[in-house]
Structure 1
Amino acid sequence: MSIEWDADTPPGTKVELQTRTGDTFSSDTLYYHGDNIRLYEGGAAEYYARKNRRDRGNKIGIWIDGPEWEKSFSAPYENAAGSPITSPSPRQFVRIRATLFSNDPEVHPTLKEVRLNFAEPVARHLLGEVTPTQVDSLGVQRPFSVYIRPDTVSAGGFDQLLLAAPPQMRLTYRGLYGGKGSDFSPAADLASLEIADVEIRSDHSDSLHLTFPAVLSESDIELFRLDFDTSLFTVSAPLRAALRRGDDGWWQRVDAGDAAAQITDNDLTLVAVPRRKEIFRNLAIEPQVFTPNGDDINDAVKFTFDVVLIRQSSAVEIHIHDLGGRRVRSISARRPVVTGAHALEWDGRDHAGNLVAPGVYIVLLKIDANTEGAGLDARDLTRTVAVAY
């Protein structure tokens, strides 16, 4: 399912559309006094009926979303010509919220039309969960498994799977397996369950896009398992999974739930409970002694490290000082999301572009961010590096 709309948006204005989806409603009635003060006490209907007609206010019928509805609206859709619905689907009902913005009270946008495009779902319902959901450290590569159970696969079936993680996380594919629910016991022979002819469209990035032979309604596969490796850089990392048929099909979202009987988490969010709250992890300096003499051998030193716990856009900074405390060079890099793996180089030159004198230099690694009150154990790291000729 996708959404598209037509709107007039003069300069300085915009229109945002968001959705929520669900399957059930319940009805209720709101009763008001004649002065339009709502009746909240129990027995409001009976109290309202006993009032004189002139003392009665409005009586308004409302619909209340069922418990399975999303708790909040989706992120705003960006493409007016057609954006895939990101709310859970298929569902019986969709609620659309349109917000109109203007920087000038004399100028306004106009929403003229909203259209919903429907496509056959790949299954009546898709449930998924990840295991393990909790780790005790950040910046450490670990294996994970996502289980996906399609309920009542459509005739067209599906042949593509997408698993997406927050930016800066790197997902490395390890295997895709399919079988009956009982096949995935702890002692299962995964080699016999491996899906053949899997093509990896993306790997070693923040998403895995896989294609495989179509799984149709008559297939005896009840449960899928996707194995991958990744590192967490923040204390919470929601995963998004979806299935579709063909490159021109719409992605159907996988909802978190009880996909596999042997897994008890029923969630698609990874959580870290680190024992130490350090911003920097896995700092490596290669080589420890470098020779910036232009012979293309160890002409620069490379600093690699992971940043964890900080979600904001911040600059990572390396300040290089001589043993007298004088700063000779500063190197910085800024990203929209600072968490993740970083690599910075120093070519042995000072702020003026001149090669520094041989000797030992102090390297201070820090982040330009306000972390006061965050309970972090170490906000800066200090190391040494040597320059030789």
Structure 2
Amino acid sequence: MFSAALPEDRARVRLTRAEYKALPGNERRHVEPDLEFWSGVQLANNGQLINAPSGRPFIQIEVEFLSENPAAATIISNLRFEYSAPQITDQVFGEIAPAVDVIAGRDTSFVLVLNAGLGAENNGFNRLQVFTPARAEAIEGVEVDLGDGEFLNLERVDDGGEIGAGQFRELYVADDQFVVGFPTIGPAEEDQVRNALVKVRFQGRVIDFRTNFAANVFLDTLGAEAERRFTSSGILALGGNESTLDTLAIFLPQRVEDNDVVDFAATDQLSDRNSLAVIADISAQSENLVTNFKVVPNPFTPNGDDVNDEVVVTFDVQRLLTPKPVYLEIFDLNGRRRRLIERQLSSGGYSQQWDGRDDAGQVVPPGLYLLRISTDADHAGEAQTRIISVAY
């Protein structure tokens, strides 16, 4: 009832905690939540994002200490809250092509296009994070159409400094994502709404019949000297050294929604589905669950000189809807297993490093070794093997 009352009615009946506690017990009533100013209680662990519903101007924090030792005492030594700036764009839509008849497991040139609406109150964005089913083999180019007749074909730079005008840089590439940076794309002058198009061309592959790509945009406002960690929850910027790392900022993502952005048939002669989904042709897939098995460099030299000290094993896992154990085993030529690596994996593209050490942490002697990869899944097919050469 209190939440449904008019503000002036609330002011007449609102009590402070002290006034409420001073009331006789028979006059106290059950405390009901104020649904206008307060949302429901939610549990937030260390480092988690807090879901703050819009329209609530206050935030209240309760810390609960739990201990099984009655003699134990706990204190809070540091409590910090990080918040995001206003939404960086009004809206951002995305579409990818080719989107049909893509050969599963084969590297393909994809084009991802974003349409970002930017009003006067938006700060803009300068980072794009794209989630992929396998590691992108190459980021081929970035083009920007600012919507006012200004078209930019950005130039790749690979140094570690600040990204200049007309440039882009690969900031991060992993098995499941890549991140590119470019100069901030902001609103137009004189409070005009801007619809900017960003086109990213990259080499990648899909594994399953249907793949839903996903993407986020960010506004990163720190200099290049800060260390970044890229996650699905945001960009974590760290400062300090290895022993005293501290969080400088967390840049929260704005999700790219799939929609019809461009006519790919007209612009790139590619098929599209007006979305971020890709339908693949899986008729040529092998019967083995593990495919595209590669080892580089081979030979490698794990002697600690930071040159070819590790071998990288890359492979695809197909037709696994839920994670199953995948085993990478290293055998010497006498048949003795020297190293076992076990991972729980579902369909996707993966990489695994081996530093030339056995299960006891000792560097193996130079020579030839057999790398075997297998899985316990049903209908897994034959185990895959490769010869690895260790040299000094």
Cα gap change, 1:208 to 1:365, in 2 (>3 Å): same
Matching of residues 1-389 of structure 1 within 5 Å: 7=41, 82-83=50-51, 120-134=86-100, 135-138=102-105, 140-151=106-117, 153-166=119-132, 169-170=135-136, 172-179=138-145, 191=153, 196-198=165-167, 200=169, 202-205=171-174, 206-217=177-188, 218=192, 222-245=196-219, 247=221, 250-262=252-264, 264-274=272-282, 275-277=284-286, 278=288, 279-284=290-295, 287=298, 302=311, 304-309=313-318, 310=320, 312=323, 314-318=325-329, 320=331, 322=333, 327-337=335-345, 339-344=349-354, 363=370, 365-372=372-379, 378-384=381-387
Evaluate the alpha carbon distance shift between residue 122 and residue 255 of structure 1 in structure 2; reply closer, same or farther with a 3 A threshold.
same
CA contact (8 A) 2:110 2:202 kept: yes
Name the TM-score, length of structure 2 as normaliser. Answer: 0.51
**RMSD of Structure 2 on Structure 1 (CA):** 5.2
**What amino acid is the match of 1:175?**
G
Cα separation, partners in 2 of 1:387 and 1:240, compared to 1, 3 Å: closer
1:235–1:341 distance in 2 versus 1, CA, 3 Å: farther
- Once the two structures are TM-superposed, the CA of residue 158 in structure 1 deviates from its matched residue by 0.8
Change (3 A) 1:267 1:364: same
Q: Distance in 1 between matches of 2:310 and 2:89?
A: 53
Question: Is the 8 Å Cα contact of residues 123 and 154 (structure 1) preserved in structure 2?
Answer: no
Q: Size of the alignment, in residue pairs?
A: 273
Task: Give the Cα separation in 2 of the matches to 1:210 and 1:295.
Answer: 32
Asked if 2 retains the 8 angstrom alpha-carbon contact of 1:199 and 1:212, the reply is: yes
After superposition, the C-alpha distances for 1:303-360 in whole angstroms (9 at most, x for unaligned) are: 73313214625232225364xxx6312422234546412343657x8999898898x8
SS of corresponding position for 2:181: strand
**AA partner of residue 253 (structure 1):** R
The Cα shift of 1:141 comes to 4.0
Deviation sequence 1:44-87 (CA, Å, 0-9, x none): xxxxxxxxxxxxxxxxxxxxxxxxxxxxxxxxx996662589xx
Contact 1:318–1:332 at 8 Å: present in 2 too?
yes
| Residues 272 and 244 of structure 1: CA distance in aligned 2, closer, same or farther (over 3 Å) | same
**Structure 2 counterpart SS, 1:327:** coil
**Cα distance in 1, alignment partners of residues 310 and 182 from structure 2:** 41
- Tell me: CA distance 1:212–1:346, structure 2 relative to 1, closer, same or farther (3 Å): closer
Q: Report the Cα distance in structure 2 between the residues aligned to 1:169 and 1:352, rounded to whole angstroms.
A: 28
- Deviation larger for 149-158 or 117-126: 117-126
- In structure 2, the CA distance between the partners of 1:308 and 1:335, relative to structure 1 (3 Å rule), is same
State whether residues 142 and 154 of structure 2, in contact with CA within 8 Å, keep that contact through their aligned partners in structure 1.
no
8 Å contact kept, 1:165–1:237: no
Structure 1 residue 127 displacement after superposition:
1.7
**Identity level (%):** 14
Partners of 2:330 and 2:339 within 8 A in 1 = yes
Aligned partners of 1:84 and 1:201: how far apart in 2? Answer: 33
1:175–1:226 Cα contact (<8 Å) kept: yes
Query: Counterparts of 1:222 and 1:387 in 2: how far apart (Å)?
Result: 51
Residue 249 of structure 1 and its aligned partner are, at CA, apart by: 6.7
Q: Is the 8 A contact 1:243 1:253 kept in 2?
A: yes
Contact 1:124–1:154 (8 Å) recurs in 2: no
The answer (yes or no) to whether the contact 2:153–2:166 under 8 Å persists in 1 is: no
Structure 1 Cα separation of the partners of residues 194 and 155 of structure 2 = 12
